[in-house]
Amino acid sequence: MATSKVKQIHDFGQSIWLDFIDRKVIASGELKKLVEEDGVRGVTSNPAIFEKAISSSSDYNADIAELAKSDKTNEEIFFGLAVADIKLACDLLWPVYNEEDVVGADGYVSLEVSPFLALDTQGTISQARQLWDAVDKDNVMIKIPGTEPGLPAIQTAISEGININVTLLFGLDRYEAVTEAYISGLEQRAAQGLPVNHVSSVASFFLSRIDILVDPMLDEKGVGEMKGEVAIASAKLAYQIYKRVFSSDRWKKLEEKGAVPQRLLWASTSNKNPAFKDTRYVEALIGPNTVNTIPLETLEAYRDHGDPASRLEDDLEAATQTMEKVREAGIDMDAITKQLEEEGIEKFNKPFQKLLDAIEQQK
């Protein structure tokens, strides 16, 4: 049998994680098949994914009824359900995490803190600790949004040895601040004489949402030929920041102690503009030491007609020029990334509230 085109991406140093989880995909053996045949090397979840899983299925009803007998809040009931799924997925991906010579490179399953805590540093730290302890698996990653209040939470969690998936990143300055939080957290840990070799993190840079917001502005400014280019250009420049930060003398001191770089993860990679190829955000950004988390539909599309090749560092000059032209056109990327972050928080808050309401109705 020919090697899956999805699996071939791994030959270029990029790991594919599945941006989807529910009980059915685990229990049916589908996730195991995706790991074995398509080389899926991790799983990510978010409030919207869990809302669909729980609201559109009866798989969780018995557990909700059981948990409702206690005095747990609806949010505590949700996390009880989510933690159970995450544990199962962690066990399934444990062989990937535990592969010889690359222990901890992949095999992670991500669980997000409540989106209601996106601007609450202390609340985020507290819940990150709770979820880390509740899952109690070395290959879980706790998702924390890369908001300004999220940065100290990320640093604290890393210093405590908690694996972190930093989510909702849209801008280059904030991404660099996230690398600083990661490195500072590891330095704190090393200063206390604690090991840094099994702490892992990814920084999730969101793509398609950038183009959705920017493309209509490009048309208005008369530079519509750049539509669909800004997110990819941003990602390519983010990767150059990654290479600079994780080759510095400061980083090398941690690397000598066994620390691993915080990889960039491409998120929001399902194309939402029918004018472009449906695998656009997978195709353009294949490159070494990166992760792409893709929904099932995009994975299936790539399996069918993907074209795996390393392209992440192609046309870097063009990427720089694209961002310069955007500025010259009077489009304020700082304002756009701030708007995207605010909208991103809201896009997770709404399904999370809907989820809590659905649990209330099922109790």
Beta-bridge partner residues of 14: 290
CA distance 348 to 162: 23
143 counts as catalytic: yes
Question: Do residues 165 and 146 lie in contact, with contact meaning Cβ atoms separated by under 8 Å?
Answer: no
Residue 275 has a pLDDT of 84
Question: Do residues 280 and 228 lie in contact, with contact meaning Cβ atoms separated by under 8 Å?
Answer: yes
DSSP 3: P
3-state secondary structure of 208: helix
Residue 2 has a pLDDT of 85
Nearest to 108 by CA among 128, 86, 130: 86
Residue 143 has a pLDDT of 98
CA distance 56 to 4: 30
CA distance 219 to 223: 6
Residue 273 has a pLDDT of 84
Would you say the pTM of this structure is higher than 0.95? Answer: yes
CB atoms within 10 A of CB 237: 17
Backbone phi, psi, residue 291, to 5°: -130, 145
pLDDT per residue of the chain (363 residues) written in tens, 0 to 9: 789 999 999 999 999 999 999 999 999 999 999 999 999 999 999 989 999 999 888 999 999 999 999 999 999 999 999 999 999 999 999 999 998 666 568 999 999 999 999 999 999 999 999 999 999 999 999 999 999 999 999 999 999 999 999 999 999 999 999 999 999 999 999 999 999 999 999 999 999 999 999 999 999 999 999 999 999 999 999 999 999 999 999 999 999 999 999 999 999 999 888 888 999 999 999 999 999 999 999 999 999 999 999 999 999 999 999 999 999 999 999 999 999 999 999 999 999 999 999 899 888
**Tokens representing residue 63 in the block:** 């557990």
Which residue pairs, CB below 8 angstroms and at least 24 apart, start in 252-255? 254/183, 254/186, 254/187, 254/190, 254/196
Active-site hit among 143, 227, 350, 363:
143
Which residue pairs, CB below 8 angstroms and at least 24 apart, start in 11-14? 11/308, 12/286, 12/287, 12/288, 12/308, 12/309, 12/310, 13/287, 13/288, 13/289, 13/290, 13/310, 14/286, 14/287, 14/288, 14/289, 14/290, 14/291, 14/292
